Amino acid sequence: MDKILEGLVSSSHPLPLKRVIVRRVVESAETPLSQAQCRAMFALSTRLVLQGPDPFQRQVGRQVLEAYGRYHRDEFEAFFNRGLVLGLLQRGYGELSNRDPAILDYIQAGLRLIMSCPSVLELFELLQVEALRLVCERPAPPLCARLCQLLGDFPQCLPRGRKLSLAFCQQLVRSIAHFQSQGSREAELRLYVSQVTQVSGLLRSVWKAEPDTLLPSLQELFAVISAAVSYVMLCSTITDTSFEPSVALASLVQHIPLQMITVLIRSLTTDPNVKDASMTQALCRMIDWLSWPLAQHVETWVIALLKGLAAVQKFTILIDVTLLKIELVFNRLWFPLVRPGALAVLSHMLLSFQHSPEAFHLIVPHVVSLVHSFKRDGLPSSTAFLMQLTELIHCMMYHYSGFPELYEPILEAVKDMPKPTEEKIKMILSQSAWTSQSSSLPSCLSRLSGKSETGKTGLINLGNTCYMNSVIQALFMATDFRRHVLSLNLNGCNSLMRKLQHLFAFLAHTQREAYAPRIFFEASRPPWFTPRSQQDCSEYLRFLLDRLHEEERTLKALSSTKTSETIMNEESQTQEAVRKAQVFAEAPCMGSEERTLIEKMFGGKLKTTICCLNCKSMSQKEEAFTDLSLAFCPPTSLESVGPKCVERSEVKDDYMVQTNALATSLAGETPPSNLEANGGCDTIMNEGTIKEFSTEPNSENTTNSELNKVEDNRDMSQRLVGKNTLSVTDLLNYFLAPEILSGDNKYYCEKCASLQNAEKTMQIIEEPEYLILTLLRFSYDPKCHIRRKILDNVSLPLVLELPVKRATSHLSVGSGGWSVGVEISDIGENLAKKLKPSGADEVACPQLVPYMLSSVVVHSGVSSESGHYYSYARNVTGSGPSGLCHQSTALSLVSRQDKLLTEESPCTVVENELDTEMPREWFLFNDSRVTFTSFQSVQKITSRFPKDTAYVLFYKRQNSTCGFNTNTANGLWVNGDPPLQKDLMDAITKDNKLYLQSKSCARCCGAALRSSASSLGLSPLCKEA
């Protein structure tokens, strides 16, 4: 019979005929056969099952084996013995390897036939040993899955005893760690996933039957995923040095009881034997498991471990893992099968990583395309996920406001999606953070990278130092000032100017993407500024300019003293002392050629005149300034009062508006810190000084002419507030408008010898090279005793003209003193045109000096004690005739009797032309990040992001004749920065070399960690909904 069957299956007869004959052979199994005949049939059917060249022959072999084994059980028991099974498992069958799954198929079929025979017990004992040996050899997924299927059908074959059972579970975990898919097509991936599921299902059965094996198995799992590649290699037979534990290990997580999470996570995070590197490696690989389809609870374990690490303040691990894996987690959102878990982990990582925008900004470039993909799907599940993602993105953009260039495309993409309320956003953020700004964080966050495409260098935030970074970048982009600083010869000097020169040199020439200004920060920080807390950038700017100015004056005075000492060989000690005293006494009154660099670049002069409205006597004073502080005035107050109406306790002849410390140097006095014509009708607080203004002027001793002027000013103010958006021009007009001193703030007139109503006017008599304007956005709330921010949008003109009224003669008194007693008899004409300094000729008409916007420092936030600063700046080549602005089309700032600007100004056309003619000339400096932007983005910033408002403005004077001469004698540079001194260039060269070396070292050291980001490539399977 065996010969007939063998000839039949190998013949060329038609397949239907063969099947008919095979059916008859199977039916003949019921007839009695000799032992030799049975053995021959068993041998033939075994050969057909294991070595059949085609599916038909293998099927025939299985049918014949099952039929003859069932009817001739004793003979089959003798054939299917220990020797046969052991030989198959260890040596294979003929050319068939012992690692072929067909071997296990045959053994499982044989066990079914002899289950009722006594010899099966001997085979069970054999298979217990062989099963452990097989898993120790790291079988491939098909063989391992087939073994697990056999062990699942015959649990008697599982290794017995706690020791062997535990060893089997641990080795099976390691075997799963070596699984790799052998194909990338969907059918192959589906088969691979089913094989992994078969193996993990067996482990679940073992853990359920023997609970003592669960915890050691999990410890083995953690050992695998936390080990470095070299350690894993020692524990395996794989020689591929690129080996990474398979994400198939994720299939085990769903079988771990959730009630064990708390105990296991606490044990892992508090175990002193678990090193940070091991924990980082393990967490990275667990996050990779999010790529595994059908796995349940992976995100639960990942989030639990993240929270556990935060609880024990393992912030370095959390930072490293988040920055390394955040993009991978975000990319999982593209695949519906793993999207829920990926979104949960992404939300936790972003909402907890609240000390820096770095993690969020890694995924920002990919958000828009994902949003559009969700919208195209149109599926309910995609819409639901889009709503969750949109809420998360809004929370992040709210928390990290101040990056309009990054967020505008996202806002456009999600504009039709519901936006969470501010209260909900705050609640979500407050419940999620695992750390606040810690002193250890900046060092953890400084990652090496090259310069951006802009060619500009950012400044690393050293811990709430954005107020300094934004100011430094604005000063650096003030081209003439930068060139003067870089050209100074400061060798051997440890001054603040030398440190600024060092900082500017590195910003210009370093290869780093961002520079850490630690030395300059420590040297320039005002002593009352609390380290690592938010400060006022305007206050810092004034302090910095004052320090630089005073330092230069002192150095010049010392230098002059030293020179004088060398020519006094025969003079007495008394004469020497007198000469020294004269040098210091004359220093504040230096001529224009002796002015400090700060005076040359930022210094201007303003004349303040106070006219008694009773006797018409007048007091005047000139004051120096480096910035003008422009106040807001509420529209309701403006409408009710017209001119600025100030009520103070008492004002006498020594009354003066606030001036900065530069005025102190010129006048020899000590006034407050900045020039401020507040005059507002609100209660305004600036630098700790509260000014209270009322809206009801005292009309006592006020003539009809003065009342007419009040009406004129009311008309002007109403026109000023009539527009929806204020402009810088409006605020400057308000700054220069006359101010009535009345009520409690009456002026003490020396001539009248009593308090009188008076009018105060201010005129700019000398314009600065760089005009710095500070918008006073922080108002004092007397009810809550806090400084609130004025969020009004202010239009920023690109081109601005400043009215400068230069007199033909100077004041009869020295600069800084008051000239008193000037009368004006004609009270029926405009008072502003009749105010004259004592002994002066006719005051000249205002000359309009053109300025162009250079930099804008933006404050993002709702209070002065919090928020973020960043700056916009324009790439300006420097001073020189520009011809960019003409009097007929430029913005004008006029006195109160002149007409205010109309809403439609010809200068708007000029601004648009200027901005379109010079593309990529604007930059956005946001701490370490520098990007290209446009003037349109600067103009729209507050309308797009209501908390982001212009705060400090830098305007550069055009048609300047006192710019820096770039045509040096040595001809080394033209229209560029000067060549650096040798010591500066050497320092920069050395730092660039160290940077490149550290960058190379970082790449080498991070190779093992980066390799953990590799995945199995399950995209085709995961894309199935």
pLDDT in tens, 96-123: 888 899 999 999 999 999 888 888 899 9
Which comes out higher in pLDDT, residue 638 or 171?
171
Candidate from 115-129, 473-487, 948-962, 996-1010 with smallest mean pLDDT: 996-1010
Helix H or strand E segment including 789: strand 786-789
Distance separating alpha carbons of residues 115 and 447, to the nearest angstrom? 65
Distance separating alpha carbons of residues 850 and 959, to the nearest angstrom? 8
- Per the prediction, the chain carries an average pLDDT of 76
* pLDDT of the residue at 679: 37
Nearest to 195 by CA among 144, 124, 255: 144
Nearest to 612 by CA among 787, 746, 512: 746
Q: Identify the top-confidence range among 659-673, 710-724, 868-882.
A: 868-882
Strand, helix or coil for residue 830: coil
Nearest to 866 by CA among 297, 342, 467, 346: 467
* pLDDT of the residue at 530: 83
Nearest to 326 by CA among 361, 291, 294: 361
Which comes out higher in pLDDT, residue 703 or 60?
60
* pLDDT of the residue at 971: 39
The dihedrals phi and psi of 34, each to the nearest 5 degrees, come to: -75, 165
pLDDT at 664 over 60: no
Q: Look up residue 187 and give its two tokens.
A: 């059918």
Average pLDDT over residues 704-709: 42
* pLDDT of the residue at 970: 39
Q: Identify the top-confidence range among 40-49, 587-596, 858-867, 955-964.
A: 40-49
Contact residues for 31 (Cβ-Cβ < 8 A; gap 6+): none
Please tell me which residue in 868, 885, 907, 1022 is annotated as part of the active site.
868
Please give the angle made by the CA atoms of 28, 33 and 35, to the nearest 5 degrees: 140
The DSSP call for residue 843 is B
pLDDT at 661 over 70: no
Q: Look up residue 698 and give its two tokens.
A: 């005292």
**Is the pTM value of this prediction over 0.85?**
no
Is-catalytic flag, 868?
A: yes
Distance separating alpha carbons of residues 45 and 784, to the nearest angstrom? 94
pLDDT digits (tens, 9 = 90+) for 465-474: 999 999 999 9
* pLDDT of the residue at 406: 85
Please tell me which residue in 466, 612, 633, 645 is annotated as part of the active site.
466
Distance separating alpha carbons of residues 520 and 535, to the nearest angstrom? 16
Average pLDDT over residues 774-794: 82
Q: Look up residue 195 and give its two tokens.
A: 């094989």
Distance separating alpha carbons of residues 676 and 671, to the nearest angstrom? 12
Q: How confident is the model at residue 337 (pLDDT cuts 50, 70, 90)?
A: confident
Provide, rounded to the nearest whole percent, the portion of the chain with pLDDT above 70: 72
Distance separating alpha carbons of residues 478 and 485, to the nearest angstrom? 11
The dihedrals phi and psi of 849, each to the nearest 5 degrees, come to: -100, 120
* pLDDT of the residue at 472: 96
Strand, helix or coil for residue 97: coil
Spatial contact of 442 and 416, defined as CB atoms under 8 Å apart: no
* pLDDT of the residue at 257: 85
Contact residues for 625 (Cβ-Cβ < 8 A; gap 6+): 603, 604, 605, 606, 659, 660, 662, 663, 674, 675, 768
Distance separating alpha carbons of residues 57 and 7, to the nearest angstrom? 11
* pLDDT of the residue at 895: 38
Is-catalytic flag, 611?
A: no
The dihedrals phi and psi of 59, each to the nearest 5 degrees, come to: -70, -40
- Sign, CA dihedral 502-503-509-512, equals positive
Distance separating alpha carbons of residues 333 and 370, to the nearest angstrom? 8
Nearest to 750 by CA among 615, 607, 623: 615
The dihedrals phi and psi of 414, each to the nearest 5 degrees, come to: -110, 15
* pLDDT of the residue at 901: 37
Candidate from 182-191, 397-406, 768-777, 941-950 with smallest mean pLDDT: 397-406
Strand, helix or coil for residue 322: helix
* pLDDT of the residue at 366: 94
Average pLDDT over residues 953-975: 60
Spatial contact of 994 and 809, defined as CB atoms under 8 Å apart: no
pLDDT digits (tens, 9 = 90+) for 948-961: 999 999 999 987 65
Distance separating alpha carbons of residues 714 and 735, to the nearest angstrom? 15
* pLDDT of the residue at 432: 74
Candidate from 595-604, 735-744, 895-904, 1009-1018 with smallest mean pLDDT: 895-904
Q: How confident is the model at residue 129 (pLDDT cuts 50, 70, 90)?
A: very high
* pLDDT of the residue at 644: 58
Distance separating alpha carbons of residues 277 and 314, to the nearest angstrom? 11
pLDDT at 980 over 50: yes
Amino acid at 365: P
pLDDT at 623 over 50: yes
Candidate from 29-38, 78-87, 470-479 with smallest mean pLDDT: 29-38
* pLDDT of the residue at 778: 81
Spatial contact of 324 and 280, defined as CB atoms under 8 Å apart: no
Strand, helix or coil for residue 932: strand
Strand duo 794-795 + 726-727: pairing:
parallel
Q: Look up residue 172 and give its two tokens.
A: 């099976």
* pLDDT of the residue at 848: 87
pLDDT at 815 over 50: no
Helix H or strand E segment including 790: none
Q: How confident is the model at residue 965 (pLDDT cuts 50, 70, 90)?
A: low
* pLDDT of the residue at 434: 61
Contact residues for 424 (Cβ-Cβ < 8 A; gap 6+): none
The dihedrals phi and psi of 604, each to the nearest 5 degrees, come to: -135, 175
Distance separating alpha carbons of residues 63 and 58, to the nearest angstrom? 9
